[in-house]
Amino acid sequence: MILVPFPEMQPLAEDLAPAIGAELRTLDWHRFPDGESLISVPGSLDGADVALLATLRDPDCLALPLRFAAATAREMGARRVGLIAPYLGYMRQDRRFDAGQAVSAPLFAQFLGESFDWLVTVDPHLHRIRRLEDVFPMPAIRAVSAPLLASWLATNLPDAVLLGPDGESQQWVAEVARLAGRPYEVLRKVRSGDRRVDVSVPESADLRKGTPVILDDIASSGSTMARAVERLLASGTDAPVCLAIHAVFADGAQDVIMSAGAARIVTTDTIPHPSNAIGTAAMLA
């Protein structure tokens, strides 16, 4: 296999390539002043299995370059072309909430399926879509980060008490808590806008007996985690650690969470960010 990372994924690629026995090559992505892209894939790919590595935090920016890279790899002789997308965008718009809205999740899945023979991703946001194969036309594998998160907690915060900021976080919080052998609670969330949310008051007495850890799959605007931090501090807990699988972080989101009183933000390296502390290369391999 030949592993070809998009530029920001080079550090993860350097760990991943030896773990899967792949040859690491460089992709060149030139952006013209008018916003168009020129993609150059590396050399001859005759008969090779090629894996492109790109995190889809900004899928609108990456969609065409990904398509160009996959098509060009085939033109250069690649036998198969797969996509390793540690973070998979467009999974949250999984239904039509108002008339005329695009249901983006299956549309984007079909778009990727036109370019790639297989997909590997880490903990996609599956809510009403239960399985990747329900929307992707090619083999699609979900790598599960819960063992990594539980191991990190056991080493760094053995007294952790986990808190899910909303009902959708239940699937991740419950499994990490089980693997780590720690208690957990899930709050209720009411969203009134992209950055306006409220959450219920925590009830568990265990939250005052250890280090509270707010766990969610995605930290985007930061509003949900920030509100959970405020609720915890108001109830008398220690400053919580915020643990997220994917560091999406819209502009200012990290500051919103830290300003609310969080002790620390910890994320995996599915999206490059200064808060990355948990590597995913071995799990992806």
Identical fold between 2-143 and 146-279: yes
- Which token pair is 161? 């008490």
- Give yes or no for residue 200 having a pLDDT over 70: no
Full-model pTM? 0.91
Q: What pLDDT does residue 197 have?
A: 60
Using the structure block, give the residue that is written with the tokens 């090619």: 138
Q: What is the pLDDT of residues 19-55, one digit of tens each?
A: 999 999 999 999 999 999 999 998 889 999 999 999 9
Query: Helix/strand/coil (H, E, C) string of 24-43?
Result: ECCCEEEECCCCCEEEECCC
Q: What pLDDT does residue 131 have?
A: 86
Q: What is the pLDDT of residues 238-275, one digit of tens each?
A: 999 999 999 999 888 999 999 999 999 999 999 999 99
Is residue 126 within 8 A of residue 91, CB to CB? The reply is: yes
Task: Please state which CATH number belongs to domain 146-279.
Answer: 3.40.50.2020
Element (H, E) at 179: helix 170-180
Q: What is the pLDDT of residues 98-147, one digit of tens each?
A: 899 888 899 999 999 999 999 999 999 877 777 898 899 999 999 999 99
- Give yes or no for residue 206 having a pLDDT over 80: no
Is residue 123 within 8 A of residue 91, CB to CB? The reply is: no
- Give yes or no for residue 194 having a pLDDT over 60: no
Domain ranges of the chain: 2-143, 146-279
- Cα radius of gyration (the chain): 20
The CATH architecture annotation of domain 2-143 reads 3-Layer(aba) Sandwich (3.40)
Residue type, 176: V
Higher pLDDT, 101 or 81: 81
Q: What pLDDT does residue 28 have?
A: 96
Q: What pLDDT does residue 218 have?
A: 87
Exposed (0-12), middle (13-18) or buried (19+): which is 5, by Cβ within 10 Å?
buried
